[in-house]
Amino acid sequence: MYITALIRAVKINPLGLDWRRFVVAIDTGGALIGCGQVKPHRDGSRELASIAVTKEWRGRGMARAMINQLIADNPGPLWLTCASRLTPLYTRFGFREVTAAESMPPYFHHASRLFNLYLRLLRKKGYLAVMVRQGIGN
Protein backbone atom coordinates (compact mmCIF):
# COMPACT_ATOMS: atom_id res chain seq x y z
CA MET A 1 0.00 0.00 0.00
CA TYR A 2 1.19 3.50 -0.82
CA ILE A 3 0.71 6.68 1.21
CA THR A 4 -2.03 7.96 -1.10
CA ALA A 5 -3.94 4.69 -0.87
CA LEU A 6 -3.75 4.70 2.93
CA ILE A 7 -4.93 8.33 3.12
CA ARG A 8 -7.88 7.53 0.88
CA ALA A 9 -8.67 4.33 2.83
CA VAL A 10 -9.04 6.27 6.09
CA LYS A 11 -11.03 9.00 4.30
CA ILE A 12 -8.95 12.05 5.15
CA ASN A 13 -7.92 14.98 2.94
CA PRO A 14 -5.74 13.66 0.08
CA LEU A 15 -4.56 17.14 -0.99
CA GLY A 16 -1.01 18.30 -0.39
CA LEU A 17 0.60 14.89 -0.04
CA ASP A 18 4.37 14.96 -0.53
CA TRP A 19 6.15 11.75 0.45
CA ARG A 20 9.34 13.70 1.31
CA ARG A 21 7.58 15.24 4.34
CA PHE A 22 6.21 11.98 5.70
CA VAL A 23 7.13 9.82 8.64
CA VAL A 24 6.04 6.25 7.94
CA ALA A 25 5.60 3.11 10.00
CA ILE A 26 6.21 -0.23 8.31
CA ASP A 27 5.76 -3.78 9.52
CA THR A 28 8.51 -6.43 9.57
CA GLY A 29 7.62 -7.39 6.00
CA GLY A 30 8.10 -3.82 4.76
CA ALA A 31 4.39 -3.01 4.33
CA LEU A 32 3.17 0.49 5.13
CA ILE A 33 1.04 0.49 8.28
CA GLY A 34 0.94 4.20 9.11
CA CYS A 35 1.98 7.66 8.02
CA GLY A 36 1.89 11.35 8.92
CA GLN A 37 3.40 14.61 7.71
CA VAL A 38 3.99 18.23 8.58
CA LYS A 39 2.68 20.30 5.70
CA PRO A 40 3.84 23.90 5.10
CA HIS A 41 1.33 26.54 3.98
CA ARG A 42 1.85 29.75 2.00
CA ASP A 43 1.09 31.87 5.06
CA GLY A 44 4.13 30.36 6.83
CA SER A 45 2.15 28.08 9.13
CA ARG A 46 2.92 24.37 9.39
CA GLU A 47 0.28 21.69 9.83
CA LEU A 48 0.44 18.29 11.49
CA ALA A 49 -1.53 16.36 8.87
CA SER A 50 -2.31 13.09 7.15
CA ILE A 51 -2.07 10.94 10.28
CA ALA A 52 -3.29 7.51 9.19
CA VAL A 53 -2.91 3.95 10.45
CA THR A 54 -4.21 0.79 8.78
CA LYS A 55 -7.21 -0.79 10.47
CA GLU A 56 -5.19 -3.86 11.52
CA TRP A 57 -2.64 -1.74 13.41
CA ARG A 58 -4.91 0.71 15.21
CA GLY A 59 -4.76 0.78 18.99
CA ARG A 60 -1.11 -0.27 19.14
CA GLY A 61 0.52 3.16 19.55
CA MET A 62 1.51 3.71 15.90
CA ALA A 63 -0.21 7.11 15.58
CA ARG A 64 1.21 8.24 18.93
CA ALA A 65 4.74 7.27 17.86
CA MET A 66 4.44 9.06 14.52
CA ILE A 67 2.95 12.21 16.09
CA ASN A 68 5.72 12.31 18.72
CA GLN A 69 8.36 11.94 15.97
CA LEU A 70 6.81 14.68 13.83
CA ILE A 71 6.63 17.02 16.84
CA ALA A 72 10.26 16.27 17.72
CA ASP A 73 11.36 16.94 14.13
CA ASN A 74 9.32 20.16 13.83
CA PRO A 75 9.74 22.42 16.88
CA GLY A 76 7.84 25.65 17.14
CA PRO A 77 4.22 26.29 16.31
CA LEU A 78 2.38 23.39 14.71
CA TRP A 79 -1.26 23.69 13.70
CA LEU A 80 -3.83 21.04 12.89
CA THR A 81 -7.46 20.61 12.02
CA CYS A 82 -9.55 17.71 13.24
CA ALA A 83 -13.11 16.65 13.91
CA SER A 84 -14.20 18.28 17.18
CA ARG A 85 -14.60 14.85 18.81
CA LEU A 86 -10.83 14.28 18.39
CA THR A 87 -9.62 17.34 20.32
CA PRO A 88 -8.99 15.34 23.54
CA LEU A 89 -6.58 13.11 21.61
CA TYR A 90 -4.46 16.04 20.47
CA THR A 91 -4.49 17.85 23.83
CA ARG A 92 -2.40 14.92 25.12
CA PHE A 93 0.34 16.08 22.73
CA GLY A 94 0.24 19.69 23.93
CA PHE A 95 -2.19 21.09 21.36
CA ARG A 96 -4.90 23.52 22.42
CA GLU A 97 -8.00 24.51 20.53
CA VAL A 98 -8.09 27.99 18.99
CA THR A 99 -11.55 29.47 18.51
CA ALA A 100 -10.80 33.13 17.76
CA ALA A 101 -10.44 33.56 14.00
CA GLU A 102 -8.01 36.47 14.43
CA SER A 103 -5.64 34.15 16.33
CA MET A 104 -5.41 31.71 13.40
CA PRO A 105 -3.14 31.86 10.36
CA PRO A 106 -5.17 32.69 7.22
CA TYR A 107 -5.12 29.10 5.92
CA PHE A 108 -6.77 27.72 9.07
CA HIS A 109 -9.25 30.58 9.37
CA HIS A 110 -10.49 30.00 5.80
CA ALA A 111 -10.46 26.20 6.06
CA SER A 112 -12.47 26.16 9.29
CA ARG A 113 -14.97 28.72 8.03
CA LEU A 114 -15.65 26.85 4.79
CA PHE A 115 -15.72 23.36 6.29
CA ASN A 116 -17.97 24.37 9.18
CA LEU A 117 -20.39 26.02 6.75
CA TYR A 118 -20.40 22.78 4.75
CA LEU A 119 -21.16 20.77 7.93
CA ARG A 120 -24.03 23.10 8.84
CA LEU A 121 -25.53 22.80 5.36
CA LEU A 122 -25.43 19.01 5.70
CA ARG A 123 -26.79 19.26 9.27
CA LYS A 124 -23.88 17.24 10.59
CA LYS A 125 -22.97 17.21 14.27
CA GLY A 126 -19.65 18.58 15.47
CA TYR A 127 -17.31 21.02 13.76
CA LEU A 128 -13.81 21.28 12.37
CA ALA A 129 -11.55 22.21 15.28
CA VAL A 130 -8.37 24.24 14.79
CA MET A 131 -5.59 23.49 17.26
CA VAL A 132 -2.06 24.75 17.85
CA ARG A 133 0.99 23.50 19.69
CA GLN A 134 3.43 26.30 20.44
CA GLY A 135 6.46 24.11 20.95
CA ILE A 136 8.88 24.07 23.85
CA GLY A 137 7.28 25.54 26.94
CA ASN A 138 3.83 25.67 25.32
Q: What pTM does this model have?
A: 0.87
Q: Rounded mean pLDDT of 120-127?
A: 79
Q: What is the pLDDT of residues 77-110, one digit of tens each?
A: 999 999 899 999 999 999 999 988 889 998 898 8
Least confident of 17-21, 72-76, 96-100, 132-136: 132-136
pLDDT band at 138 (very low <50, low <70, confident <90, very high): very low
Task: Name the superfamily (CATH) of residues 3-133.
Answer: Gcn5-related N-acetyltransferase (GNAT) (3.40.630.30)
Q: Rounded mean pLDDT of 67-75?
A: 95
Write down the pLDDT at residue 88: 97
Which among 11, 49, 6 has a CA at the least distance from the CA of 31?
6
Backbone angles phi and psi of 101, in degrees to 5: -55, -35
